[in-house]
Amino acid sequence: MNAANYLYLSALLFTIGAVGVVIRRNAIVVFMCIELMLNAANLSFVTFSRINGDLNGQVIAFFTMVVAACEVVVGLAIIVTIYRSRRSASIDDASLLKR
Amino acid sequence: MIDLAIQVGQTAKPEATLFWILAPLSVAAALGMLLVKKAVHSAILMAFVMIALAVFYIAQGAPFLGIVQIVVYTGAVMMLFLFILMLVGVDSSDSLTETIKGLRPTAITAAVGFGGLMISLLGRATLGRNAVGVEAANAEGNVQGIASLLFSTYVWPFEVVSALLITAALGSMVLAHHHRIQTRPTQRELSIQRFRSGSLANAAGLPAPGVFARHNAVDVPALLPDGTAAAASINASLKARGDVLNSSAFELGNIDTSVEEEK
Amino acid sequence: MNWLTLLMVLPLIGSAVVVALPKGKDKLVKQVALGSTLIVLGATVAMAVGFQRDNVDLQYVEKYAWIPSFGINYALGVDGLALILILMSTILAPVVVLAGWNECQGGRWSVKVFYILILVLETMMIGVFAATDVFLFYVIFEAMLIPVYFLIGGYGTGERSAAAVKFLIYSLFGGLMMLGSIIALYVMSGAQGGHTFDLAALSQLKMSSMTQNLLFLGFFIAFAIKAPLWPLHTWLPDAADSATPGTSVLLLGVLDKVGTFGMIRYCLTLFPDASKTFTPAILVLAVISIIYGAILAIGQRDLKRLIAFTSISHFGFITLGIFAMTSQGYSGAALYMFNHGFSTAALFLVGGWMISRRGSSTISDFGGLQRITPVMAWMFFLAGMSSLALPGMSSFVSEFLVLVGTFNRYPAHAIIATFGIVLAALYILIPVQKALHGPTTPGNENLSDLNLREKIAIAPVIAIILALGFYPAPLLNVINPAATHVIGQLGFSDPAPTSGGK
Amino acid sequence: MMTSTTLVYLIALPLAGSAILLLAGRRSDKWGHLLATGLSASSFFVGLYQLSLMLGRSNSERPITQKLFEWISVGTFKIDASLMLDQLSICFVLLITGVGTLIHIYSISYMSHDADRRRFFAFLNLFIAAMLLLVLGDSYLNLYVGWEGVGLASYLLIGFWNQKPAYATASKKAFVMNRVGDMGLSFAIMIAFATMGTVSFSGVKAAVDHTSTAALTSIGIMLLVAATGKSAQFPLQAWLGDAMAGPTPVSALIHAATMVTAGVYLITRSNFIFDAAPTAQLLVVIVGAITLMFGALIGTAKDDIKKALAASTMSQIGYMILGAGLGPVGYAFAIMHLLTHGFFKAGMFLGAGSVMHGMNDEVNMRKYGALRKFMPITFATFGLGYLAILGVPPFAGFYSKDMIIETAFNSGGAKGIILGCVTLLGAGITAFYMTRVMILTFTGKSRWDDEAHPHESPWLMWLPMAILAIGSVTSGYLLSHGDALVNWLSPLFENHAEHAELLSPLVVSGLALAMVAIGIAIAFIKYSRNEVAAVAPTDVSIFTTIARQDLLQDRFNEAVFMAPGKVLTAVLVKTDEAVIDGAVRGAGRIALGSGSALRGVQTGFVRSYAALILLGAVALVAAIWVVTQ
* Among candidates C411, C425, C495 on the partner chain, residue whose Cβ is nearest the Cβ of D176: C425
Asked whether residue A9 is domain-assigned, the answer is: yes
Among A83-97, B41-55, C379-393, D389-403, the least confident range: A83-97
Q: What is the DSSP string of D279-338?
A: HHHHHHHHHHHHHHHHHHHHHHH--BHHHHHHHHHHHHHHHHHHHHHT-HHHHHHHHHHH
Domain that holds residue C348: 271-494
* Among candidates A91, A96, A99 on the partner chain, residue whose Cβ is nearest the Cβ of D607: A91
DSSP state of D532: P
Question: Which residues 115-144 of B have a C-beta within 8 angstroms of D?
Answer: 117-118, 120-121, 124
Asked whether residue A78 is domain-assigned, the answer is: yes
For B6-28, what is each residue's pLDDT tens digit?
A: 554 555 577 888 888 999 999 99
Mean pLDDT of B154-168: 93
- Sign of the Cα pseudo-torsion (A82, A84, A90, A94, in order): negative
CB contact under 8 A, B127 and A4: yes
Contact by Cβ (8 Å): B59, B15: yes
B vs C contact (3+ beta-carbon pairs below 8 A): no
Asked whether residue A38 is domain-assigned, the answer is: yes
B151 part of contact set with chain A, CB < 8 Å: no
- Shortest CA gap B185–chain A (Å): 21
- pLDDT above 70 (res B127): no
Cβ-based neighbour number of residue C189 at 10 Å? 20
Rounded to two decimals, what is the model's pTM? 0.80
CB contact under 8 A, C499 and D141: no
The predicted structure's pLDDT at residue A1:
62
- Provide CATH 1.20.120.1200 ranges for chain B: 1-93
For C80-139, what is each residue's pLDDT tens digit?
A: 888 899 999 999 999 988 888 887 777 778 888 888 899 999 999 999 999 988 899 999
- Shortest CA gap C215–chain D (Å): 23
Residues of chain A contacting D, Cβ within 8 Å? 18, 21-23, 25, 30, 91-92, 94-99
- pLDDT above 90 (res B209): no
Asked whether residue C483 is domain-assigned, the answer is: yes
The predicted structure's pLDDT at residue B126:
67
Chain D contact partners (≥3 CB pairs within 8 A): A, B, C
The predicted structure's pLDDT at residue B262:
46
- Sign of the Cα pseudo-torsion (B197, B199, B203, B207, in order): negative
The predicted structure's pLDDT at residue D3:
83
D581: closest chain C residue by CA: C234
Q: What is the DSSP string of D226-239?
A: HHHHHTT-TTS-TH
The predicted structure's pLDDT at residue D44:
92
Mean pLDDT of D279-286: 90
Alpha-carbon gap, residue C220 to C208, rounded angstroms: 18
Give the residues of chain C that fall short of pLDDT 50. none
- Shortest CA gap D628–chain A (Å): 18
* Among candidates C390, C397, C500 on the partner chain, residue whose Cβ is nearest the Cβ of D152: C390
The values of phi and psi at residue B197, to 5°, are -70, 170
The predicted structure's pLDDT at residue B263:
43
Cβ-Cβ contacts under 8 Å, C299 against chain D: 569-570, 572-573
Asked whether residue C225 is domain-assigned, the answer is: no
At residue B251 the predicted structure's pLDDT band, cuts being 50, 70 and 90, is low
CB contact under 8 A, B128 and A63: no
Asked whether residue A98 is domain-assigned, the answer is: no
CB contact under 8 A, A68 and B77: yes
* Among candidates A22, A97, A98 on the partner chain, residue whose Cβ is nearest the Cβ of D607: A22
For D23-39, what is each residue's pLDDT tens digit?
A: 888 888 888 888 999 99
Give the residues of chain A that fall short of pLDDT 50. none
- Shortest CA gap B35–chain D (Å): 17
For D556-589, what is each residue's pLDDT tens digit?
A: 888 888 888 888 888 888 888 888 888 888 888 9
Chain B contact partners (≥3 CB pairs within 8 A): A, D
3-state secondary structure of D77: strand
Q: Which of B168-182, D121-135, D524-538 tops mean pLDDT?
A: D121-135
Contact by Cβ (8 Å): B218, B237: no
Average pLDDT for chain D:
86
* Among candidates B43, B49, B172 on the partner chain, residue whose Cβ is nearest the Cβ of A74: B172
CB contact under 8 A, A92 and D602: no
CB crowding C308-320: b at 16 or more within 10 Å, else e:
bbbbbbbbbbbbb
Asked whether residue A97 is domain-assigned, the answer is: no
Cβ-Cβ contacts under 8 Å, B120 against chain D: 625
The predicted structure's pLDDT at residue B113:
92
Contact by Cβ (8 Å): C77, C130: yes
- The number of folded domains in chain C is 1
The predicted structure's pLDDT at residue C319:
92
- Sign of the Cα pseudo-torsion (D208, D212, D215, D221, in order): positive
Helix residue spans in C131-208 (DSSP H): 134-143, 145-155, 160-191, 199-202
Alpha-carbon gap, residue B33 to B21, rounded angstroms: 19
Mean pLDDT of D482-495: 80
Quote the ipTM score: 0.72
The values of phi and psi at residue B162, to 5°, are -65, -40
The predicted structure's pLDDT at residue B256:
59
- pLDDT above 50 (res D273): yes
At residue D43 the predicted structure's pLDDT band, cuts being 50, 70 and 90, is very high
Contact by Cβ (8 Å): D336, D399: yes
B vs A contact (3+ beta-carbon pairs below 8 A): yes
Contact by Cβ (8 Å): B30, B49: yes
A1 part of contact set with chain B, CB < 8 Å: yes
Q: What is the CATH number of the domain that holds A27?
A: 1.10.287.3510
- pLDDT above 70 (res B213): no
Asked whether residue A68 is domain-assigned, the answer is: yes
Cβ-based neighbour number of residue C208 at 10 Å? 9
CB contact under 8 A, D606 and A95: yes
B203 part of contact set with chain A, CB < 8 Å: no
CB contact under 8 A, D604 and A18: no
Contacts of B109 (CB under 8 A, 6+ apart): none
The better pLDDT of the pair B89, D622 is held by D622
Contact by Cβ (8 Å): A81, B176: yes
The predicted structure's pLDDT at residue B3:
62
A69: closest chain B residue by CA: B77
3-state secondary structure of C393: strand
Asked whether residue A99 is domain-assigned, the answer is: no
Q: Which of B249-253, D16-20, D403-407, D563-567 tops mean pLDDT?
A: D16-20
- pLDDT above 80 (res B33): yes
Contacts of D124 (CB under 8 A, 6+ apart): D36, D40, D100, D103, D104, D107, D153, D157, D249, D250, D253
Alpha-carbon gap, residue C361 to C376, rounded angstroms: 15
Mean pLDDT of D294-317: 88
In percent, how much of chain D has pLDDT > 90?
17
Q: B71, B79, B150, B175: which to substitute to probe chain A, counting the most A Cβ within 10 Å?
A: B175
3-state secondary structure of B251: coil
Mean pLDDT of D279-290: 90
Mean pLDDT of D189-203: 89
The predicted structure's pLDDT at residue A43:
93
Domain B1-93 maps to which CATH number in 1.10.287.90, 1.20.120.1200, 1.20.1630.10, 3.40.1360.10?
1.20.120.1200
D595: closest chain A residue by CA: A99
Domain that holds residue A70: 4-92
Mean pLDDT of B224-241: 74
CB contact under 8 A, D628 and B124: yes
- Shortest CA gap B192–chain A (Å): 28
The values of phi and psi at residue C102, to 5°, are -110, 10
